[in-house]
Amino acid sequence: MQIGNYKIDVNSKVFIIAELSANHNGSLETAIETIHAAKRAGADCIKLQTYTADTITIDCDKEDFIIKDTIWSGQKLYNLYKEAYTPWEWHKKLFETAKEVGLECFSSPFDKSAVDFLEKLNVSAYKIASFEITDIPLIEYVASKGKPIIISTGIAELEDIEWALDACRRMGNNDIALLKCTSSYPAPINEANIIMVEDLADKFNVISGLSDHTMGVTVPIVATAFGAKIIEKHFILDRSIGGPDSSFSMNEQEFKSMVDAIREAESAVGKIDYRLTEKQRKGRDFSRSLYVVKDMSEGEMITVENVRSIRPGFGLHPKYFDMVMGDIVTKEIKKGTRLDLNFIKKNNGNIN
């Protein structure tokens, strides 16, 4: 998967997305400064959301349209999205700002008109939000544009994921990443189920990652250890400015701590390699080896009293210990001498 200048595959660094969402709080200046802050915090990308209240829902007072059991409980869907949306007339400026500071920028569209709008901005990728994974016509339309597609799985059952992937592939688009997501705001850490990051990659043969709504850095670090190659987290200048998503968003200092922790975690994960580094090889000096531990006369027999496996590791490999027992040394040897096959006389066929 190639998003702008970033190649994302099993060998690449984690691609870290700062989600702007509603955290501009209605101010273009705040949105612009948030992009600068995301860059300072170490993000690779800033992500927008492209919708209006009218493209995502309808203005209706019926019970179905009143939010329940979330941090937004009691609000009407239409009013929430009217407050939270990013004005479309800002997008060009935000894309330009991201490019100026060296961040990739793309968006989550919520209907076909948003896709058409983003195409005019030459967007490099698309994100399908968790709640849109069931909107197969939208996914097909996005996939038809031939851009990389990142899909969150927050509300998805297995068949939802399969249908979404089939929709992309029907349109000839196999450039897909799946993000493990828990669609609670904030999400309880015990529901993160990060082992799914690895399973998504294995089961569906895609890049996998994490869209995270937990508090803190633990879950992104664990996700990195489980092979996440994309991590997305909501980002805000300062939670005190408020807004619909402020309570589960990271500020600049917190986000930077997360980025640093992810970079350390991916460095610690490393690669499968049984060869030793130079430092590790030096550490073998402290391993065990066979040494003479009592002065020995020429012709004396090797026993457990005069030869032992001890530190350091410069002598004969301990695998020879049982083989040399009962053999004869061919010269006088002082205590502390490395045992060497060159001064051991074969006895009873112990040494080949």
Nearest to residue 182, comparing CAs of 211, 218, 222, 217?
A: 211
- Phi first, then psi: what are they for 101, rounded to 5°? -90, -5
Which among 269, 301, 316 is the end of a domain? 269
Question: Residue 168: CA atoms inside 13 Å, Cβ hemisphere, count?
Answer: 24
Domain co-membership, 185 together with 131: yes
The pLDDT of residue 348: 56
What does DSSP say about strands 2-3 and 6-7: parallel, antiparallel, or unpaired? antiparallel
Residue 308: CATH number of its domain: 3.90.1210.10
Domain co-membership, 298 together with 245: no
Which pTM value belongs to this model? 0.85
Contact assessment for residue 162 and residue 143, using Cβ atoms and an 8 Å cutoff: no
Please check whether residue 212 lies inside any domain of the structure. yes
Please check whether residue 121 lies inside any domain of the structure. yes
User: E strands, the chain, where?
Assistant: 2-3, 6-7, 15-19, 45-50, 104-109, 126-128, 149-152, 176-181, 207-212, 230-234, 289-292, 307-310, 328-329, 344-345
Residue 91: CATH number of its domain: 3.20.20.70
Which positions of the chain have pLDDT values less than 50? 350-352
Torsion of CA 46, 51, 52, 56, to 10 degrees: -140
Which among 251, 269, 287 is the end of a domain? 269
The pLDDT of residue 280: 85
Please check whether residue 320 lies inside any domain of the structure. yes
The pLDDT of residue 349: 52
The pLDDT of residue 70: 78
> DSSP label at 187?
P
Contact assessment for residue 301 and residue 295, using Cβ atoms and an 8 Å cutoff: no
Domain co-membership, 145 together with 86: yes
Helix (H, G, I), strand (E, B) or coil at 181: strand
Spatial distance between the Cα atoms of 192 and 179, rounded to a whole number of angstroms: 12
Domain co-membership, 299 together with 260: no
Which among 230, 252, 269 is the end of a domain? 269
Q: By residue range, what is the domain housing residue 321?
A: 278-345
Give the chain's end-to-end CA distance (angstroms, integer). Answer: 56
The three state secondary structure string of 100-151 is HHCCEEEEEECCHHHHHHHHHCCCCCEEECHHHCCCHHHHHHHHCCCCCEEE
Number of domains present in the structure of the chain: 2
Please check whether residue 350 lies inside any domain of the structure. no
Helix axis angle, 252-269 to 218-225, nearest 10° = 20
The pLDDT of residue 351: 45
Helix (H, G, I), strand (E, B) or coil at 25: coil
- The DSSP annotation for 237-280 comes to S-GGG--TTGGG-B-HHHHHHHHHHHHHHHHHH-----SPPHHH
